[in-house]
A and B are shown apart, each in its own frame.
Chain A
Amino acid sequence: MTRLTRILFFLSLWLFGWFLSLPAQAQLEIDISKGNLDPVQIAVPDFLATTSSERELGAQIADVIRADLERSGLFKALDPASFLETQTNIDYKPTFADWRVIKADALVSGRIQTESASRILVEFRLWDVFAGQQLKGVRFATTPENWRRTAHKASDAIYEALTGESGYFDSRIVFIDERGPKTNRKKRLAIMDQDGENPIYLLGGDDLVLTPRFSPNSQTIVYLSYENSDPNVYLLDIETGRRERLGDFPGMTYAPHLSPDGETLIFTMARRGNSDIYAMDLRSRSTSRLTTDPAIDVSANYSPDGKKIVFNSDRGGSPQLYTMDADGKNVKRISFGKGRYSAPVWSPRGDKIAFTRSGGGKFGIGVMDIDGKNERILTDSYLDESPTWSPNGRVIIFSREYRGVDGRREVWSVDLTGQNLRRVETPGMASDPAWSPLLQ
């Protein structure tokens, strides 16, 4: 095995095998083990170009790719100052010896060409330095203004080629932008690229807005808005700007999520103080009630096949996690660890559920199998909550709130394995992140 294939082998073990190898008694331990995987060392020189404007784009694109890959925690982008070879044409093999000397496992050599004022070609080749083989070659055609997305697409292609998993870089995060003191905070719906770039507000900001969630298959979100002091679930199509109140119910509706096909809204309605879960077919607008327990039933969302629902209920005396069939039958409690459990979210891969667990004055993000086995707590702070999954189910982002009068709210990110804990850039304070599916 070459060094790269060896690393990839361990990488796949790390991605797939972690949970299986955990001893059973360790399942409730907080285990934030870091740095026990050597990141793949990758060299990404600035993309080759002819004109000065192309060169600028070439440098920016390489910058974004390096940053994307580094943020994943699986890669170490080597410092361009250490590069020995300066390629002049990416159609020829690189001098692998020069890249081996600086301990690069992989090399991305790219080029930009201008076809017309409004069309550029961005291409790259991904090389296994030790095997001396091309692993991937892709060419993108786009407008010069769209260089940033193109760079994210290139990062996705590199990530996929080296991990066997689809990437998540060409995606966006919707969140609640928060400004002002804790007792008078303005909360406003906003969206940004997954790396924090291009933040824009999606709504005017007159009304309190909470808990945005992406449709798993489109650029549509559902959220809770307090318009006219009448809190209700709304839908917003980000691309067209179409906004719609979903339904007119006798009680406050909240905690929305869309089904995997985007055609069913699952939400909670509070009637006479009692919160129960309902599902509404968005075409026919027919609504069915899925829970009838006098306890709190909230935070429902579907498995990726649409057949099961995970939700939060205090029917057993304290908030715990439950699953049920999509028609509300076959309710099973799945959380049995110490503490209170809430905010469950089914992974897009289908095999895990992320949640918030609290106890001992702390709140942390955890993951468990869909039957509650192999629980693993990934983070721990004064108040970590609201986990959401990356489109490939490998990364969880969540809200972190700090203690005290100045308690900031931030968005943080952690790998499914508990490694690579880091803050996500946001323009101001932020909460309730929700990750989009990959852009088309």
Chain B
Amino acid sequence: MRRLFFGGAALVMLSACATKPPVVEEVSEVVPVAKPAPEVFEPAPLPPVIEQAPEVVEVVPQANLPIPGSQEDFAFQSGGEPRVFFGYDQFDLSPEARDVLRRQANWLNLYTDATAIIEGNADERGTREYNLALGARRADSVKAFLISQGVAPNRLSAISYGKERPIDGRSNEEGWARNRNGFTNLRLRGVS
């Protein structure tokens, strides 16, 4: 229809026949990419919470005080949470941090079955890998201090989470200050 309607187009078609364009290049095979079996793109279900079997305690503890030798006791002795805090881009221990770590060391020297992973953390104002390095320095500051207080080195390991484990989501001085820390992640024997 179009050609009938537009006489000019028919002429172009004719001249097109006379100058047929070059042949299309040779076939290139497009092979499918071998892929691992695709998974459904849904968030994985959270692993079941491992319930800690309650320990049978003979002695009724003092009112409102944690059971001696427990995770809670360790946190309590550390001043609420086994965590010490650092300045921006710093990894040296403040007098307060040393005080907390002395109490942690005393506890660890009392309960010698316990081990700990020292986790170094950074605030979000740094790039991922630099902050991993910074967290490693902080974790080592904590570990070295605990060793200096008599904790056996083989009971302690140090890793860095960089800025991946914030405990405070706020992007302000308070939030950042809380996220720059060294966390003593206590592992009691028989509890994973």
Contacts and interface: CB of A to CB of B under 8 A. Distances in A.
A315 interface: no
Contacts of B32: 142-143, 145-146, 149
Interface string A359-379: 001010000000000000000
B93 interface: no
Nearest to B119: A229
Given A252-B159, A296-B137, A92 B29 contact: no
Q: How large is the interface on A (under 10, 10 to 19, 20 to 34, 35 or more residues)?
A: 35 or more
Interface stretch (A3-11, A25-33, A399-407, A415-423): A399-407
Given A91-B20, A134-B21, A200-B41, A239 B34 contact: yes
A273 B158 contact: yes
A407 B36 contact: no
Nearest to A229: B117
Contacts of B126: 342, 358
A186 interface: yes
Given A137-B22, A183-B169, A241-B36, A231 B160 contact: yes
Contacts of B167: 183
A211 B13 CA distance: 57
A211 B128 contact: yes
Interface string B112-150: 000001000000111111101110111111001000000
A383 B28 contact: no
Contacts of B20: 91-92
A59 interface: no
A259 interface: no
Contacts of A211: 128-129
Nearest to B12: A95
A93 B127 contact: no
Interface string B5-31: 000010011011101111111111111
Interface string B40-55: 0101101100000000
A270 B21 CA distance: 63
Contacts of B169: 181-183, 404-407
Contact of A255 (B23, B28, B36, B129): B129
A32 B41 CA distance: 35
B25 A255 contact: no
Contacts of B35: 200, 238-239
B70 interface: no
Contacts of A252: 136, 158-160
A205 interface: yes
A153 B39 CA distance: 25
B39 A200 contact: yes
Of listed B130, B137, B138, B166, residue having the most chain A CB within 10 A = B130
A143 B34 CA distance: 14
A198 B170 CA distance: 34
Contact of A385 (B9, B31, B128, B132): B128
B139 A273 contact: yes
A91 B168 contact: no
Given A91-B21, A95-B9, 7 more contacts: A93-B15, A141-B29, A143-B32, A200-B35, A210-B164, A252-B160, A427-B41
Interface of A: 86, 91-93, 95, 97, 121, 123, 125, 134, 137-143, 145-146, 149-150, 153, 179, 181-183, 185-188, 190, 198-202, 204-206, 208, 210-211, 219, 224, 226, 229-231, 238-241, 252, 254-255, 268, 270, 272-275, 296, 298-299, 312, 319, 342-343, 356, 358, 361, 363, 382-383, 385-386, 401, 403-407, 427-428, 431-432, 439
21 contacts: A93-B19, A134-B21, A137-B22, A137-B23, A179-B43, A182-B166, A185-B164, A187-B164, A188-B43, A211-B129, A219-B33, A230-B159, A272-B140, A296-B134, A299-B129, A312-B129, A358-B125, A385-B128, A386-B127, A401-B124, A431-B128
Interface of B: 2, 9, 12-13, 15-17, 19-36, 38-39, 41, 43-44, 46-47, 91, 117, 124-130, 132-134, 136-141, 144, 158-162, 164, 166-171
| Closest 9 A/B residue pairs (Cβ) | A273-B140, A270-B136, A405-B169, A205-B44, A182-B169, A93-B16, A142-B30, A275-B133, A137-B24
